[in-house]
Amino acid sequence: MQTLLIANPNYSEFTQAAWEVLRKPNLSMQWYIIPILLIFVYIVSKELSEGHTKIVLAGAALWLVDIWNEIWNSYICAVSGHAPVWGTPPGAAVNGIGLAGQGSAFNILIGYNIEISFMFFIMGIASCLMLPKDKKAKILGINNRIFFACVLTTLAVLVECFLNYANVLTWEWSFWQRSCPWILWIIGYLPFFSAAFYVYDRPTTKQSAKAVGVLGALVAVGIIVGAALNWL
């Protein structure tokens, strides 16, 4: 059996399993990622062809905020020498716990895979398509932006809890568990939808693009620093 290099022998078993396939497409790539890519291209192309540039930029905003979360998650894994806050290990049995399926087609970071990447960009687009054109309109007495941000955040947390229950998303820190979902609600998803809606509601496309540019610059700095310190 081929011996694979592990970044840190003190990592948890789930984390070591994820490190073994991290950015190694020869060990994990699957054909299904190609149709997912085409679906993503179709959605973005359709929105742009219909003049919905700000919706695509909003999708990019949500995607970038998620990447920022994934960067600091990788930092925590490296600094702690134990585990990320959330991880996406390959499908396998560890300590008798079976991980569903065969894992991701491609793990980009320790808790971030190609499926998650496509999912969040599309989710950003979809969430803005739900919004009323009038950003001041109310639903059940609540501003519609706040209403949708709260409802979609709650649904996203429920899905994430199910993914953890199904053992395809691992949580190994006591503060990040299904028993305290409010932390996921505040840190994990509310900022995502808030960023998407903020970008979507900018008065001009140029202002939306500038906001996305700021997020992109923040992510770029995070990647550069993490790569320099070997934390990614």
Residue 13, SS3 per DSSP: helix
Residue 209, SS3 per DSSP: helix
Q: How far apart are CA 228 and CA 9, in angstroms?
A: 21
Q: Could you tell me if 188 and 152 are in contact, meaning their C-beta atoms sit under 8 angstroms apart?
A: no
Over its length of 232 residues, how does the chain's per-residue pLDDT go in tens digits?
333 444 566 888 888 888 888 999 888 888 999 999 999 999 999 999 999 999 999 999 999 999 999 999 999 999 999 999 999 887 644 444 444 445 788 999 999 999 999 999 999 999 999 999 999 999 999 999 999 999 999 999 999 999 999 888 999 999 999 998 999 999 989 999 999 999 999 999 999 999 999 999 999 999 999 999 999 9
Residue boundaries of the structural domains of the chain = 13-228
For CA atoms 211, 216, 219, 225, give the dihedral sign: negative
Residue 59, SS3 per DSSP: helix
Q: Could you tell me if 30 and 105 are in contact, meaning their C-beta atoms sit under 8 angstroms apart?
A: yes
